[in-house]
């Protein structure tokens, strides 16, 4: 179906900036944090990524919807963006894999959007002023006086302090079998993946390498994890402020104390940082897209990676250092964003644990970081001797002692 409509729509930002266009998707009102994504492809993977819950996503790519949508490319059970902002919406899809139009999908799921917006101007505004609350108003809602619309945006929740992982997580555990994804040998390992907003391609990447993945809800306890006798534990990406995830952080500390190999991505990276005693802070406008350059400090290799995060770990780039919670030994920043020196990965020197801030599953995105799944499997291989028996709370080895360099989180634009 064509996306042509005469219904008016308006994007209103909390600082009073207004952008007018036409309705796209459902009619009504959408409130959330206005952010921009720089990916040139993968719009369906973007809008179905649970990490975008609570956000109005501005696509910097000018032409959206031309390949339609299909069931195979969805990264979750539904669209998670609160609202969608595009410049040129395709009038109709044209692709052999298309099963419907993006406009139809947005309307079917009640997602309010806006088209014919100068998304370059919106992006430049958010880049200079920072991510902020916004609202999309279409149909009759767009006809209200602008001061009323600005007031509605100002009354919306901020992303700081929002606890969202439980709202996007599954409520019942499920298993992803290696045989379902092309693996023909014996199962190599049992892995527990805590769903904080997991993308469907992530357990797929483990399964195709011979790992049976038990995907469990965000509120799963350590005792429930241990009952599954996993060789490793994985924390996924997800939305919201990591400072609100006290329950998951404490569960992760129990995992670390038990000596179970751990791997985290995105939100999982932030929670590892907090579990070790580091703080987290909000980025000015965040990293979102599939073209972010990251340096792997161990190999010296620059990777082009997929990102979707507005918070980061506040850890010293110089290392290794003793974790603020000294029981966990030494930790080092393993990856750094080359655009702004934001911490993009952590590696524990005295524990079988590491994490990255970006999305190595490449959906949508480059495959530069796919090696990380193999690296974690090697880590689980190395603990076959029973040293990571999940029924034993092993003592954590001590690390080198030393003061943690101070870091002013208020200077976030310099990270």
What does the pLDDT look like over 126-147, one tens digit per residue? 999 999 999 999 999 999 999 9
Q: Is 310 annotated as a binding residue?
A: yes
pLDDT at position 407, please?
32
- Residue 2 pLDDT class (50, 70, 90 cuts): low
Q: Do 284 and 174 sit in the same domain of this protein?
A: yes
Catalytic residue from among 14, 33, 266, 309: 266
Burial of 323 (0-12, 13-18, 19+ CB in 10 A): buried
pLDDT at position 365, please?
80
pLDDT at 254 over 90: yes
The average pLDDT across 13-21 equals 98
Decide which of 178 and 405 is more confident: 178
Q: Do 99 and 183 sit in the same domain of this protein?
A: no
Q: Do 127 and 184 sit in the same domain of this protein?
A: no
Q: Is 238 annotated as a binding residue?
A: yes
CA 42, CA 48: separation in Å to the nearest integer? 10
- Residue 6 pLDDT class (50, 70, 90 cuts): confident
CA 284, CA 172: separation in Å to the nearest integer? 35
pLDDT at position 80, please?
98
174 Cβ contact list (under 8 Å, min separation 6) = 214, 215
* pTM summary value: 0.91
* Mean of pLDDT over the chain: 91
The average pLDDT across 284-300 equals 95
pLDDT at position 362, please?
82
Q: Do 211 and 253 sit in the same domain of this protein?
A: yes
pLDDT at position 88, please?
97
CA 43, CA 351: separation in Å to the nearest integer? 38
Q: Is 270 annotated as a binding residue?
A: yes
pLDDT at position 266, please?
97
What is the domain range of residue 107?
A: 8-154
Q: Do 205 and 131 sit in the same domain of this protein?
A: no
Q: Tell how strand 83-85 and strand 112-115 pair up.
A: parallel
Q: Is 264 annotated as a binding residue?
A: no
Q: Do 334 and 209 sit in the same domain of this protein?
A: yes
156 Cβ contact list (under 8 Å, min separation 6) = 14, 31, 32, 133, 135
pLDDT at position 402, please?
31
pLDDT at 405 over 60: no
Q: Do 200 and 220 sit in the same domain of this protein?
A: yes
Residue 337 is a catalytic residue: no
Closest CA to 175 of 211, 209, 201, 199: 211
pLDDT at position 319, please?
83
Q: What percent of the chain is modeled with pLDDT above 70?
A: 91
pLDDT at position 260, please?
97
Catalytic residue from among 166, 307, 361, 415: 361
Q: Which two tokens mark 81? A: 């963006």
Closest CA to 183 of 211, 224, 160: 211
96 Cβ contact list (under 8 Å, min separation 6) = none
Q: Do 74 and 204 sit in the same domain of this protein?
A: no
pLDDT at position 396, please?
35
CA-CA-CA-CA dihedral for 119, 121, 125, 126, to nearest 10:
20
CATH number at residue 363: 3.40.50.880
Q: Is 399 annotated as a binding residue?
A: no
Q: Do 350 and 399 sit in the same domain of this protein?
A: yes
Q: Is 51 annotated as a binding residue?
A: yes
pLDDT at 312 over 90: yes
pLDDT at position 3, please?
63
CA 408, CA 415: separation in Å to the nearest integer? 10
User: Which pLDDT tens digit goes with each residue over 187-226?
Assistant: 999 999 999 999 999 999 999 999 999 999 999 999 999 9
The average pLDDT across 293-311 equals 95
**Domain boundary residue among 106, 124, 154?**
154
Catalytic residue from among 287, 307, 335, 359: 359
- Residue 366 pLDDT class (50, 70, 90 cuts): confident
CATH number at residue 123: 3.50.30.20
């Amino acid at each position: 179906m064509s996306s042509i409509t005469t219904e008016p729509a308006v994007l209103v930002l909390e600082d009073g900036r207004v952008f007018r266009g036409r309705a796209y998707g459902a009619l009504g009102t959408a409130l959330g944090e206005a952010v921009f994504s720089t990916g040139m492809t993968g719009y369906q993977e973007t809008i179905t990524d649970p990490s975008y819950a609570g956000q109005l996503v501005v696509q910097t790519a000018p032409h959206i919807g031309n390949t339609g949508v299909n069931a195979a490319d969805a990264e979750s059970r539904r669209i998670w963006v609160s609202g969608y902002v595009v410049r040129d919406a395709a009038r109709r899809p044209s692709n052999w894999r298309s099963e419907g139009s993006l406009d139809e999908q947005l309307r079917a799921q009640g997602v309010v959007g806006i088209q014919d917006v100068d998304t370059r101007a919106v992006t430049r505004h958010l880049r200079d002023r920072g991510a902020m609350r916004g609202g999309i108003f279409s149909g009759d809602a767009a006809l209200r006086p602008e001061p009323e619309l600005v007031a509605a945006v100002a009354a919306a929740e901020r992303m700081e302090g929002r606890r969202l992982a439980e709202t996007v997580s599954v409520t019942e555990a499920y298993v992803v079998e290696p045989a379902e994804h092309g693996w023909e040998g014996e199962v190599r390992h049992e892995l527990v993946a805590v769903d904080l907003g997991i993308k469907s391609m992530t357990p797929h990447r483990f399964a195709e390498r011979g790992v049976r993945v038990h995907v469990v809800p965000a509120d799963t306890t350590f005792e429930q994890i241990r009952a599954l006798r996993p060789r490793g534990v994985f924390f996924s990406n997800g939305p919201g402020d990591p400072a609100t995830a006290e329950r998951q952080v404490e569960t992760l500390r129990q995992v670390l104390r038990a000596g179970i190999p751990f791997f985290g991505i995105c939100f999982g990276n932030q929670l590892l940082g907090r579990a070790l005693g580091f703080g987290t802070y909000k980025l000015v406008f965040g990293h979102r897209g599939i073209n972010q350059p990251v340096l792997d400090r161990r190999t010296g290799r620059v990777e082009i990676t997929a990102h979707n995060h507005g918070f980061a770990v506040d850890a010293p780039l110089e290392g290794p250092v003793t974790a603020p919670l000294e029981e966990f030994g030494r930790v080092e920043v393993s990856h750094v964003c080359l655009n702004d020196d934001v911490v993009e990965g952590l590696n524990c020197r005295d524990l079988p644990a590491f994490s990255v801030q970006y999305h190595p599953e490449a959906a949508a995105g480059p495959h530069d970081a796919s090696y990380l799944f193999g690296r974690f499997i090697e880590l689980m291989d190395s603990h076959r001797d029973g040293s990571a028996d999940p029924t034993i709370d092993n003592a954590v080895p001590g690390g080198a002692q030393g003061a943690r360099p101070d870091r002013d989180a208020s200077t976030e634009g310099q990270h």
